[in-house]
Amino acid sequence: MSLLLKKLDFTLDQYAALCSTIKKSKYQAVTVRDYLAGVQRDKYLIIMRHDVEEDACKALDMARVEHSYGIQATYYFRMKNKVYVPDIMDQIASYNHEIGYLYETLDKTKGDMEKAIMLFAVELAMLRERYDIKTACMHPLTEYDNKKIWEKCKLAKFNLLGDPYLSMDYNQMLFLSDSGRTWLVASSTLSPMVKVEHTSDLIDLINDGRHERICILTHPEIWSKNIVGFLGFYLLGLALNAGKRLLSVYRGLFKGS
């Protein structure tokens, strides 16, 4: 079984291989916080970002792999059961990873802007009781566009450096996401020139080193450490990914309407 798992993609074994490649490459792995603050001045950077949507335990597994290779990353946590788990988040923070806030307050308030901003303040304050939160990230592809709260107020009001979807210029970097267990190249200017289907392709791309700035977004719950977990999430992922793609298409069709 262990040999079979090593041949499958989106496993912790494959993620360890990716981290090993980054560690040996000319790139420096940085958090979103440090990138937005301008702390890192190296020419070649990889911004490591994780959206923890369903399971904090999975995030801890990934954080341990990164720590073993001396890599720091940003972990954005939703405020919900099984995700907001302070004991686990404390362990992740102890590895010098950044803890961030994955907000979805417009969804939680059914589109009520004033209540959404108030809820944002409450949830952020809860997180700040334990962590030095400097960046927040909207939870994308939900019923409401959660980043619209910033049309009514400013990130600076909450002493935040930024939101990756608003504060980073993805036309100036290669942005890859593992959404649906497929590597999606989301940078508009670079997409036609880059083909990444498997994690091994991403490893090759990093070894090639032609892109100075890379942002890697992962969702820890989809990275499996055993064959049972791999097969279970594969079947669930087929259904969820289909739904996300339909929602994305819908939003594209009605954008600006």
pTM: 0.86
pLDDT tens string 179-230: 878 898 876 566 667 889 899 999 999 999 999 999 999 999 999 886 545 5
C-alpha pair distances (Å), 241 with each of 105, 108, 113, 162, 233? 23, 22, 28, 28, 11
Q: Provide the pLDDT confidence category of residue 4 given band limits of 50, 70 and 90.
A: very low
pLDDT tens string 127-156: 999 999 999 999 987 889 999 999 999 999
Given a cut of 50, whether residue 12 has pLDDT beyond it is: yes
Given a cut of 50, whether residue 6 has pLDDT beyond it is: no
Of 152, 69, 72, give the one whose Cα is nearest residue 109: 152
Q: Between the CA atoms of 73, 77, 111 and 157, what dihedral angle is there, to the nearest 10 degrees?
A: -60
Given a cut of 60, whether residue 243 has pLDDT beyond it is: no
Given a cut of 60, whether residue 256 has pLDDT beyond it is: no
Given a cut of 70, whether residue 236 has pLDDT beyond it is: no
* 147-165 exposure pattern, b = at least 16 Cβ within 10 A, e = fewer: bebbeeeebeebebbbbbe
Q: pLDDT at position 190, please?
A: 63
